[in-house]
Amino acid sequence: MLVALPITARAQSPPSVVWRASAGYDQFAFRDVAKSRPPVDASPVRWRGRGPIVTFEYERVRPLRLLQVEVSASTAGDFQYETGVGVAARPRGDSASFVEGHYDYRRYLARPIVVRGLSAGVGVRGIGERRLLRHHFDDHIELTETNVASSIAAVASLRFRRIDRVAIDAEWTNGATLARGRQRHVDAVINGVSEIASWGGGWLTDVAARAELGVARHAAVLVSYLRRGEGRLFDLRAYTAERRRVMVGVTYAP
């Protein structure tokens, strides 16, 4: 007989440890911004690419508390310009890569809300990330944008633990970002290199959901979705970006 999902099974016996590994598809879309004050004036053209992502999570769960550490790495290619009425392929060298880690601390209400099995929580998340964006113009001009960023965010979360073997979680995250941005422009024809670097600020909003289904005494399979909107403002330049990822993976609770 299959037992309940590990998280559910151990909800009353703190603390339990959960490991997750997942992989999937990540989509990145970028628009440079000419005016960053609301209403934000972003480019009418979207630079969009897609590629694989892998994520590992470690979680310590008590009945009303959660600590989580997650690291992920992704890369995007196959970029194109989207104008709303058409798309145009970009050079093969256009790419984006990301390495991200975050730490979560969360508390849940003791009593269910609205329906039995549904509980609400709030928490704080610290995020560290490094990203590298490569634009190519005419094959001989390369523009690279490197950002090293840290964010602090508030997380509102809902978790549903009513059905045996099934766990559903949803999160809404809003945060502020401090980043160091470096933009490097290289023209291979005239052998010209220019580089600017500055500190910048930004924001992020995540909407995420995850469903897990227990398949063995210590294991479950999971499906997750995340949509992120974000903005970054540096000296003399700014951009807004969107990420969407769909992943499948496994959960292991020793």
Partner 1 sequence: MRRDASAGFHSTLLVIAFAISPACHTFLGPSAVDDNWRVHEGPRVTFFVRPGSVGEQNASRLSEVIEDQYSATVAALRLSYAGHVRAFVHDSAADADLPSNFSGRAYPETESFRFVCVAPVTGSTFALMSHEANHVFIINGLGRAGTFLMTEGLATAALSEKYHFAGRHFLFPWTWSHRSQLPALSRLIDDAEWLKVPEDIAYDASASFLAWLLDTYGSDSLRRIYAAASSELADRIASVYSRPLESLEADWLRFCESWVG
DSSP code per residue over 142-157: EEEEEEEEEEEEEEEE
Cβ proximity to partner 1: between 58 and 83 the closer is 83
Cβ proximity to partner 1: between 24 and 175 the closer is 175
Cβ proximity to partner 1: between 184 and 218 the closer is 184
Cβ proximity to partner 1: between 1 and 88 the closer is 88
- Smallest gap from residue 238 Cβ to partner 1 (A): 10
Which residue has 């990822």 as its token pair? 245
- Smallest gap from residue 61 Cβ to partner 1 (A): 20
- Distance of alpha carbon 134 from alpha carbon 49, whole angstroms: 11
- Smallest gap from residue 52 Cβ to partner 1 (A): 24
Of 96, 243, 92, 84, give the one whose Cα is nearest residue 173.
243
Cβ proximity to partner 1: between 5 and 66 the closer is 66
Residue 87's SS3 state is strand
Which residue has 């941005």 as its token pair? 181
For the chain, the straight-line distance linking the first and the last C-alpha, in angstroms and rounded, comes to 18
Tokens standing for residue 170: 């949803």
- Smallest gap from residue 128 Cβ to partner 1 (A): 19
Q: For binding to partner 1 (CB under 8 A), which residues are involved?
A: 30-35, 38-47, 81-86, 88, 109-114, 120, 122, 135, 137-138, 140-141, 143, 156, 158, 172, 174-175, 183-185, 187, 189-190, 192, 194-196, 203-205, 229, 231, 236-237, 239-240
Cβ proximity to partner 1: between 5 and 76 the closer is 76
- Distance of alpha carbon 20 from alpha carbon 12, whole angstroms: 21
- Smallest gap from residue 188 Cβ to partner 1 (A): 8
- Smallest gap from residue 111 Cβ to partner 1 (A): 5
Of 4, 63, 66, 55, give the one whose Cα is nearest residue 253.
4
Asked if residues 222 and 250 have their Cβ atoms less than 8 Å apart, the reply is yes
